[in-house]
Amino acid sequence: MALDATTRTESDSLGELEIPADAYWGIHTARALENFPISMRPISVYRDLIVALAMVKQASARANKEIGVLDAERADLIDRASQRVIDGEFHDQFVVGVVQGGAGTSTNMNANEVITNIALEMAGRGKGDYAFLSPIDHTNRSQSTNDVYPTAIKVGLGLDLRTLLEELDLLRRAFLAKATEFHDVLKVGRTQLQDAVPMTLGQEFHGFATTLGEDYHRLRENAHLLYEVNMGATAIGTGITTHPDYAPAVIRHLRDISGLDLELAADLVESTSDTGAFMSFSSSLKRNAIKLSKISNDLRLLSSGPQAGFGEINLPARQAGSSIMPGKVNPVIPEVVNQVAFAVAGADLTVTMAVEGGQLQLNAFEPIIAHSIFQSITWMRRGMRTLRVNCVDGITANRERLGTMVGSSVGVITALTPFIGYAAAAALAKTALLTGRNVGDLVVEAELMSREEVDKQLSPARLSGLQAHTRAIPVITSPDDESALSADAQAR
């Protein structure tokens, strides 16, 4: 009996506890709240993990009913209660911390208790009436934390990945749009932060889009490693306490419910103890995060200044950049994406160490694995969106500055080397560096090429490689060769 109307009494093998009367969770969750005040972040911060847990419970109820180990009335109540959680209800009742001991038992029991009490309420019974419907004997029938928890993590990540991939593709398309917008904007390419040869700003942004497209495919490939699950393994993979028909039935129902291409692991003992799939998936997230960080670095460099830096592009001004320097605006959006990448890289190391730390038939550290990967995928999705909406979509090119920089760049003369020779090109490059004059003007003044020939060879299409030279170009070694060059240039 409860001490007062605001609580109810529940018991387990360790004794009794008072539970808030309106709570859908029970005594096992209450003990976890006492034991693990670590992260101060409930598992409900990861919505798709909660949805996945409910999907596993729903699939199990349907499988148990199908094979005859759970009566239809109780199975249907669990099924309907699980659906309400899948639909977004009661997520605030999933209160255990994301970091916990016990290999995820507290999370599994939190789900069992919440779904059971929802079902009891739907049946017109009071919360905690476990004699009619038990969190363990009924909602957890044919299951163990050791197959429920890793399966729910994998299903949740599969669901979460869908929205990440959507954001990644939107960001890729945003860079492609800028590549089209800047297709004719010449600039100086750089290697090792030193001036190299010309390219277009469109080519640079197209490169960003291409690398993100590659990551899209790598993430999808690694996601399939998550779709091998161990439902039916129970404690260590031997399937103890389960009906032989349970495993194929629960996988079939879970595949239908989740829409994911799940399959039962061939070796349930191995699958229960091995967490390598999480490490591979985390690694692919890190790869994407680091490449996003590199792109963000480039955006910060290209927009640096605006007067004393590169100043090639303009990022949208999002906020005042200084409390002491008036007018200063900082590249805050790329900066936050950099920090997301740092966190993802750190989380990947955490996952690696947790995978290594598993012992014998179970890895006890799946809670930190789950937290690390779900946090990474959540932050990356949000980072991609703010990068797209608050930065990339509003980038503009500083066309006048870029034109001036290309015109005076000694890298431009590389395109004229086949026509004027290396020695003459080197001499004119030195003059251009000392005087800051336009390279094309110097070549014309030296009477090495005509203005028409220079303009043709220094066109955006030629300089950026979009219009390739299809045959050998003769090198001028003496004034006598100029007429031959002129005829050849006109032919092309």
Residues with catalytic roles? 322
Of 267, 3, 2, nearest to 126 by C-alpha is 2
H-type alpha helices, 357-457: 366-390, 399-407, 417-420, 422-435, 439-445, 451-457
Is the alpha carbon torsion for 138, 141, 145, 149 positive or negative? negative
Whether the CB-CB separation of 404 and 137 falls below 8 Å is answered with no
**198: helix, strand or coil:** strand
Residue type, 208: F
Query: What does the block give as tokens for 383?
Result: 């980072």
The beta-carbon contacts of 8-17 under 8 Å, at least 24 apart in sequence, are: 8/126, 8/127, 8/128, 9/128, 10/128, 10/130
Q: How many CB atoms lie within 10 A of CB 317?
A: 12
**320: helix, strand or coil:** strand
C-alpha radius of gyration, the chain, whole number: 32
Of 371, 460, 417, nearest to 38 by C-alpha is 371
Residue 109: half-sphere exposure toward Cβ, Cα within 13 Å: 17
H-type alpha helices, 224-326: 246-258, 268-273, 276-302
d(CA 174, CA 215): 15
Whether the CB-CB separation of 377 and 157 falls below 8 Å is answered with yes
Whether the CB-CB separation of 236 and 324 falls below 8 Å is answered with no
Kindly provide the b/e burial profile for residues 45-71, where b requires at least 16 CB atoms within 10 angstroms of the residue's own CB.
bbbbbbbbbbbbbbbbbbbbbbbebbe
Residue type, 143: Q
For residue 121, what are the contacts with CB-CB under 8 A and spacing of at least 6?
A: 127
Hunting for tokens 């900082």 — which residue is that? 330
For residue 307, what are the contacts with CB-CB under 8 A and spacing of at least 6?
A: none
Residue count (the chain): 492
